[in-house]
Amino acid sequence: MKICKVLLLFFTINLSAQQKPIETIFFDFDKFDLTEQQTGIVTNFIKKIDTSKIESIQIYGYCDDRGTDEYNFKLSRNRVNTIQQLLVSNGFKQSKIIILEGKGRVIVRQDTVENLHEIRSKNRRVDLVAVRRNSFGKDVTNSFKDNLKVGDKIALHNILFNIGSAKLTHHSKNELDKIATLLQSKKNIQFEIRGHVCCTPEIYSDGIDKETKERRLSWNRAKTVFKYLLSKKISISRMTFQGCGNKYPLGNGDQYDRRVEFLITKT
């Protein structure tokens, strides 16, 4: 197929037993629809994936560097929506799709790259990311189970942050709403909210919050969750928070280090 046509490539990267496989779909310039043949490849992927081993799906859309930011954000979101609709229409559970994000254009310095046309074609894409169950590593659970004990650490796939941000996503708020409801029924549980960061040089202990410009990103993430639960009527006497910086990487990918954990301190 000529390069000016819509390109579709599916590949799987297995970095470890816990790492996420990544499926990438490449689009033609200024397009967000798929051909019948490409749709068939996506539906075959859905059929072969073992959903019992998948915690959730994250979908990220991108564009090349041409056009305005506003236009490309819209186009990248349309590409994401195309893949989402195809997944759901073929039986994939909507509840498992936790992130839908159009990231806009990928900036390229035209004077510093070779094969600019090819690079642009690879930037017109959607990354479809399948998150495996129990991806947070040893000694960290991903649910508020019934038999919690002091010292248990809980991290949840739906409570992850964007790089440099302490803001809660829509999906994180939905997850915290569920946690608040659970905590209201388990009034003896007390806990510490621990914020974490990824991608920070070893000479620094924490990341920079791009909104406040302070190197307190992990602290701000923990505080954001603390304040949200407080707004949901969880007593301040039941919870504390702190920033852990980059001291506790999980080794399963940067996305899992942009997290908060709940450390159970009393049951």
- What lies within 8 Å, CB to CB, of 57 at 6+ separation is 87, 92, 96, 97, 98, 128, 129, 130, 131
Q: Which is more confident, 108 or 169? A: 169
**Whole-angstrom distance, CA of residue 209 vs CA of residue 216:** 6
Q: Write down all domains in the chain, each with its CATH number in brackets.
A: 22-132 (3.30.1330.60), 140-266 (3.30.1330.60)
pTM: 0.56
Q: What is the average pLDDT across 107-128? A: 82
Name the residue type at position 246: N
Among 102, 105, 106, residue whose Cα is nearest residue 76: 102
- At 209, the pLDDT band (50, 70, 90 cuts) reads very high
Q: Residue 254 corresponds to which tokens in the numbers above?
A: 């940067």
- DSSP strand pairing (260-266 vs 190-195): antiparallel
| Average pLDDT over every residue of 209-221 | 92
Residue 158 structure tokens = 């739906």
Tokens matching residue 90: 């073929």
Crossing angle of helices 170-185 and 217-231, rounded to 10° = 60
Q: What is the mean pLDDT of residues 123-150?
A: 72
Mean pLDDT, to the nearest integer, of 3-10?
37
The answer to whether the beta carbons of residues 128 and 23 sit under 8 Å apart is: yes
The highest-confidence range among 13-22, 131-140, 148-157, 173-182, by mean pLDDT, is 173-182
The two structure tokens encoding residue 162: 């964007």
Query: Based on the number of CB atoms within 10 Å of its own CB, is 242 exposed (0-12), middle (13-18) or buried (19 or more)?
Result: middle
CA 147/CA 267 separation, integer angstroms:
9
* Interval 222-229 mean pLDDT: 96
Terminal Cα distance for the chain, rounded: 61
- 193, with CB counted inside 10 A (0-12, 13-18, 19+), is buried
Q: Which of 161, 83, 155, 95 is nearest to 126 (CA)?
A: 83
* DSSP label of 160: B
Look at residues 127, 150, 132, 130 and name the one whose alpha carbon lies nearest to residue 142: 132
How far apart CA 193 and CA 154 sit, in angstroms, is 10
pLDDT surpassing 80 at residue 193:
yes
Strand residues in the chain grouped as ranges (E): 22-26, 54-63, 97-105, 125-132, 140-141, 153-154, 190-195, 239-243, 260-266
pLDDT of residue 4: 36
